[in-house]
């Protein structure tokens, strides 16, 4: 009985200490590692939220871009996964981009399902297929598929090897039975830039990275990979309307900490971040970037990530792609 009482007392003291630490957190600057280069959706959202988080927490939130990496893993996420679980190093990264290959033996030196703590999903944006109209004079997925079958050597860009954008392209290839060369970039922004420069003929990216170039005519988005048209760009047809029913890939990214991040710190970061995402003025600013605010609880976000694993692993297996 005495031992039980002592254990209960120790647990109560530990919980009290964790709660006190969360209330005191942060006592110094917090680093937010963005796993993509400047100019993309994740970077834009990070720089929108960072000063507002600093205001709410009373400490600086510093954005650091660390792009690169493949095989369902990113350099930036590895930095966070291997950091101390104290809340001073966080990541903004795509859930599907590095959680989709949890059982891959070549996945990397850490296990994202164990070594990263989901805090909240930040935004969603459907994947799209975009073409350079000067190089590919097509107006629909049906026309693109016909051209790809008649003309070998088409190359598509994506935001990185093993990324959600890459998997959207591989899923497209499987469903349409076409063969195209994959050209990986260190993020959507450089992929879109090279698409407009004519270095690749088409790209699979999220709508948030492409939408601002649509009206200029520098690129043409053929379809959104979603069941319904996007409220952000309702003029763009769905994949089903454009010729490839069932091609649906929702892009998203969220806020993560290292594995073992104390629950009270996770909950406080979640509460403050989701409150910012729900501000009407922030929702409007996020919509203007081609994304939609989509906050979740930590538990909801973890469940969403895990639910995607079987689907993307099947695409990887069926397509035979390698992520080394």
Segment 280-295, tens digit of pLDDT:
999 999 998 889 999 9
The predicted model scores a pTM of: 0.84
Euclidean distance between CA atoms 155 and 134, whole angstroms: 15
DSSP conformational letter for 238? B
> Which region among 174-183, 227-236, 238-247 has the lowest average model confidence (pLDDT)?
227-236
Q: Which fold has domain 126-250?
A: D-Maltodextrin-Binding Protein; domain 2 (3.40.190)
Q: pLDDT tens-digit profile of 11-41?
A: 444 444 555 556 689 999 999 999 888 888 8
- pLDDT tens-digit readout, 81-93: 999 999 999 999 8
Q: DSSP code of 208? A: H
2-125+251-319 and 126-250 agree in CATH topology: yes
Poorest-confidence range of 139-143, 186-190, 224-228?
186-190
Give domain limits for the chain. Answer: 2-125+251-319, 126-250
Q: Which CATH superfamily is domain 2-125+251-319 in?
A: Bordetella uptake gene, domain 1 (3.40.190.150)
Extract the runs of DSSP E, i.e. beta strands, from the chain: 30-34, 61-65, 89-93, 116-131, 155-158, 181-184, 202-206, 220-224, 250-258, 292-293
Instruction: Select from 65, 2, 58 the least CA-distant residue to 25.
Output: 58
Residue 211 DSSP class: G
């Amino acid at each position: 009985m005495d031992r039980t009482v002592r254990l209960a007392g120790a647990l109560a003291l530990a919980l009290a200490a964790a709660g006190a630490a969360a209330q005191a957190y942060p006592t110094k600057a917090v680093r937010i590692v963005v796993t993509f280069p400047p100019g993309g959706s994740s970077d834009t959202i990070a720089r929108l939220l960072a000063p507002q988080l600093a205001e709410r927490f009373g400490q600086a939130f510093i954005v650091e871009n660390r792009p690169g990496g493949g095989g369902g893993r990113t350099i930036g996420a590895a930095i966070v996964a291997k950091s101390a679980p104290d809340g001073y190093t966080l990541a903004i990264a795509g859930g599907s981009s590095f959680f989709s290959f949890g059982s891959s033996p070549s996945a990397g030196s850490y296990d994202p399902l164990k070594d990263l703590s989901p805090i909240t999903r930040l935004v969603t944006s459907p994947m799209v297929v975009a073409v350079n109209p000067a190089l590919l004079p097509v107006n629909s997925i049906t026309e693109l598929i016909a051209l790809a079958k008649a003309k070998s050597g088409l190359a598509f860009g994506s935001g990185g090897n093993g990324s959600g954008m890459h998997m959207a392209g591989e899923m497209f290839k499987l469903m349409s039975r076409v063969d195209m060369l994959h050209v990986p970039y260190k993020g959507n922004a450089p992929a879109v830039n090279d698409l407009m420069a004519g270095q690749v003929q088409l790209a699979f990216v999220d709508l948030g990275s492409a939408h601002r170039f649509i009206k200029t005519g520098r690129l043409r988005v053929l379809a959104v990979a979603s069941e319904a048209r996007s409220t952000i760009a309702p003029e763009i047809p769905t994949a089903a309307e454009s010729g490839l029913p069932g091609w649906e890939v929702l892009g998203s990214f969220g806020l993560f900490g290292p594995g073992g991040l104390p629950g009270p710190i996770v909950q406080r970061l979640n509460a403050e971040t989701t409150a910012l995402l729900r501000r009407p003025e922030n929702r409007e600013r996020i919509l203007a970037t081609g994304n939609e605010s989509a906050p979740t609880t930590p538990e909801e976000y973890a469940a969403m990530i895990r639910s995607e694993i079987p689907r993307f692993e099947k695409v990887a297996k069926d397509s035979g792609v390698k992520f080394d």
